[in-house]
């Protein structure tokens, strides 16, 4: 359809014809009603044109929008808008019906403006969805790219700590380890926030001992901080049940972030963790209160309103930032997800009190774990095969397994073919693989291993920086026995092997 044909069709009307491309960029305009400049985007001329963008991408279309009130560059007109597209030609046609609509159809105008608002809302929702998809994709990629080098950094610093070092070298190494672990915690929190927002964070319901969780955490902070100016104390009321069902990892995460926040903002005085029974129902549901009190800088009333928001850090005059935006955000999100609540009371210059209340199902008995009889032969062979094509990771694995107190011996295969040859001649307790190789994927490798009757029963441990839930599920569903997220310590990889 030519431009002349369109003009002939609208010969008796006051019409403006605008040629655009599928992205909404103006190519030409006869400027009968409004002045449009070439190479500008049509949606920048008026908010209504945003709702036209989905139609511009259609293959062949003719869409009409009557009674549109446009105010462009001080000129106000009521027009009918038609999108006309056939083959490669695309036009937006404005037909001036100002007098007609002003005097005879006010109700039609109101109705169609409602449709416009609806279309715009739909477009904004689609845009929001696209942004969310991009964010999740970016986080997955960032997660993998950071975890791999971080694993090498923490692995070699751990090995370096086992050598003979001077006092100054030990101090420097300690800073490196703390910095690396801080990055790891931030990565975990960032991904957990994303998982909570998308509804894919897994919450476990397992038996655990509350006192063991608390004792381990407080001991960790007493050793880690070792600050003579700050006294850490904890008290658990006698009526608090210790044997509970819940997710101890998430409980630990909540309390860890709150204690870390308290240490960050307290220069001297004390930090106290008090645990008490809020109430207990007849159906064995106990509501337990965790109160973390510090004598730190305190938070103003105005600042408390945003303390649990993502990436927010508070400041008092020239003091260093108060609060870990990610840490407190994860506390709020996890507490809500577990069906609890978190509140904060604070006074500037006096200190802060964070109170978390969480519900737990109590348990009376602990089921006995099944043990393997001695002499069964199940753990006699401790030869491990690692299939690793990266030389840095090969070196790290070799050093981690040298003289280990678990009795493991390690063989490394640089590719699948070498691995199959080793498996054909020797028996291995377990196989360590990763998710991506130069010429194949971890899933392809698992399929090869499982297709061979001779060693298909050997358990496979996947060690990878690709740790999003979907990525873990995909490789576990392919036949892997367990998944270990990078970065990991020697104890963590040995513990994972023992559980296979």
Domains of the chain, earliest start first? 3-104 (3.30.450.20), 131-198 (1.10.287.130), 206-362 (3.30.565.10), 383-499 (3.40.50.2300)
| pLDDT tens digit sequence for 146-188 | 777 888 888 888 888 888 888 888 888 887 887 777 677 667 7
In 213-328, beta strands by DSSP E: 230-236, 243-246, 269-280, 285-294
pTM of the model: 0.47
Taking only the tens place, the pLDDT of each residue in 272-325 is: 999 999 888 878 899 999 999 999 988 888 788 778 775 444 443 334 444 444
Nearest to 396 by CA among 151, 173, 191: 151
In 252-340 the beta strands, taken as DSSP E runs, fall at 269-280, 285-294
Closest-CA residue to 211 (of 177, 255, 156, 159): 255
Which range has the worst mean pLDDT, 9-18, 37-46, 190-199, 347-356? Answer: 190-199
3-state secondary structure of 318: coil
Mean pLDDT, rounded, of the chain: 81
Pick the closest to residue 65 from 81, 48, 84, 42 (CA basis).
Answer: 81
Tokens 């441990």 label which residue? 461
| CA gap 257, 275 in Å, rounded | 16
Q: Are 258 and 296 in contact (CB under 8 A)?
A: no
Question: CA–CA separation, 137 vs 131, rounded Å?
Answer: 10
Higher pLDDT, 108 or 495: 495
């Amino acid at each position: 359809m030519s431009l002349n044909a369109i003009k002939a069709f609208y010969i008796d009307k006051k019409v403006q014809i605008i040629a655009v491309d599928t992205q909404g960029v103006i190519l030409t305009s006869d400027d009968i009603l409004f002045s449009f400049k070439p190479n500008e985007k049509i949606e920048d001329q008026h908010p209504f044109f945003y709702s036209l963008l989905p139609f511009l991408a259609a293959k062949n279309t003719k869409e009409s929008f009557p009674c549109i009130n446009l105010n462009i560059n001080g000129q106000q007109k009521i027009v009918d808008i038609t999108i006309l597209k056939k083959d490669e030609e695309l036009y937006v046609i404005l037909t001036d019906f100002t007098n007609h609509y002003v005097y005879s159809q006010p109700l039609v105008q109101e109705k169609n403006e409602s449709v416009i608002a609806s279309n715009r809302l739909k477009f904004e929702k689609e845009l929001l969805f696209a942004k969310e998809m991009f964010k999740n994709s970016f986080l997955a990629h960032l997660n993998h790219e950071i975890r791999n080098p971080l694993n090498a950094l923490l692995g070699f610093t751990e090995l370096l700590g086992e050598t003979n070092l001077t006092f100054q070298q030990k101090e420097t190494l300690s800073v490196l380890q703390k910095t690396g672990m801080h990055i790891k915690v931030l990565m975990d929190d960032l991904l957990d926030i994303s998982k909570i927002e998308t509804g894919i964070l897994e919450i476990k319901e397992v038996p655990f001992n509350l006192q063991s969780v608390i004792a381990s955490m407080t001991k960790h902070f007493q050793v880690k901080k070792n600050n003579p100016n700050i006294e850490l104390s904890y008290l658990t009321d006698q009526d608090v049940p210790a044997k509970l069902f819940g997710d101890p990892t998430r409980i630990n995460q909540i309390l860890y972030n709150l204690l870390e926040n308290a240490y960050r903002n307290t220069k001297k005085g004390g930090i106290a963790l008090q645990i008490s029974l809020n109430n207990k129902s007849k159906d064995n549901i106990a509501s337990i209160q965790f109160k973390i009190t510090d004598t730190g800088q305190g938070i103003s009333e105005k600042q408390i309103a945003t303390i649990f928001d993502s990436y927010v850090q508070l400041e008092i005059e020239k003091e260093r930032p108060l609060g870990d935006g990610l840490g407190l955000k994860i506390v709020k999100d996890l507490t809500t997800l577990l069906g609890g609540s978190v509140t904060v009371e604070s006074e500037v210059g006096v200190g802060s009190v964070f109170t978390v209340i969480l519900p737990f199902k109590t348990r009376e008995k602990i089921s006995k774990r099944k043990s393997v009889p001695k002499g069964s032969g199940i753990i006699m062979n401790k030869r491990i095969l690692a299939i690793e094509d990266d030389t840095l990771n090969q070196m790290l694995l070799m050093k981690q397994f040298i003289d280990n107190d678990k009795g493991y011996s390690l063989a490394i295969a640089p590719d699948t073919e070498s691995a199959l040859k080793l498996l054909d001649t020797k028996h291995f307790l377990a196989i360590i693989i990763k998710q991506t190789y130069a010429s194949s994927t971890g899933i392809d490798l698992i399929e090869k291993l499982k297709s061979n009757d001779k060693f298909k029963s050997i358990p496979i441990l996947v060690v990878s920086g690709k740790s999003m839930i979907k990525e873990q599920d995909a490789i576990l569903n392919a036949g892997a026995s367990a998944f270990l997220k990078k970065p990991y310590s020697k104890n963590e990889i040995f513990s994972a092997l023992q559980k296979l």
